[in-house]
Amino acid sequence: MLLVIDVGNTNTVVGLYDEEQLLHDWRIRTEIDHTIDEYGVLIYNLYQSSRMKAKEMKAVNAIIISCVVPPMLNILEPLCVKYFNIKPLIVGPGIKTGMPIFYDNPKEVGADRIVNAVAAFKKYQKESIIVDFGTATTFDYVSPKGEYMGGCIAPGIVISSEALFARASKLPRVEFSKPKTIITKDTVSAIQAGIMFGYAGLVDGIVNRMKAETKTNPFVIATGGLARIVAQETKSIDIIEEMLTLDGLRIIYELNKK
């Protein structure tokens, strides 16, 4: 079995694959202050909560990691060796992706962005824009030939909202949810409308500009923790693939396992 780990700035997503089938997936907080053993206990508890048998836990024979928080690698690499007796494959320079990367400095591209692009082209075999709703919201364009052409980065929904709450002392913290109308009658709904519909407009605006610049009509895929909430309010997103990054890690592992 293959264990895939996608480390983001806010959350870390872990998945367990039996060949191409995703058996389990878990989302946990990214905490650089945790020790190797604390993460080891956490992963063990995740296994237990999924009612996995001991033989299934021991069946992991490969691990691949995508990480945009470098200090986390100092925890996860020795964790994999100590608890699984496996040296993990780390997505980065020198790893086969099967995708040409047309970026001024390919080393600057977040590993998760490349992983998403690989998964999108492998699954749909067409040009696409991938919108990943994470700590930052990334927009990446893949050409009809399966080339990573670059993209753009916007502040994520959560950190944008936190900035508003921190700088406007009279505004209350609100739950991130869809209000009934855009013209609201109370402060909580007003904030929710501004965040939800404002961000949906940001997504549509950037996607439309990317389409205009490329003079194409790419397939638009949304992924990330908040994808389902925001995507339903946009006009540009064609499909939601919440496990796109995990699928991409599995695909990249298959390219490199020999």
Active site residues: 112
What tokens were used for 78?
């020795």
Task: Select from 7, 15, 123, 126 the least CA-distant residue to 69.
Answer: 7
- Measure CA 101 to chain center: 19
Pairing outcome for strands 219-224 and 239-240: parallel
H helix runs in 8-110, sequence order: 36-49, 54-57, 70-79
Both tokens of 224, joined, read 């990330």
Distance (Å, whole) CA 80 – CA 93: 20
Reduced to 3 states, what is the DSSP secondary structure of residue 257? coil
Residue 146: both structure tokens together: 């399966």
What's the sign of the alpha-carbon dihedral 146, 152, 156, 157?
A: negative
Cα–Cα dist 177/28, whole Å: 21
Alpha carbon distances (Å) from 151 to 7, 138, 214: 20, 7, 11
d(CA 249, CA 93): 15
What stretches of 50-107 show up as alpha helix (H) in DSSP?
54-57, 70-79
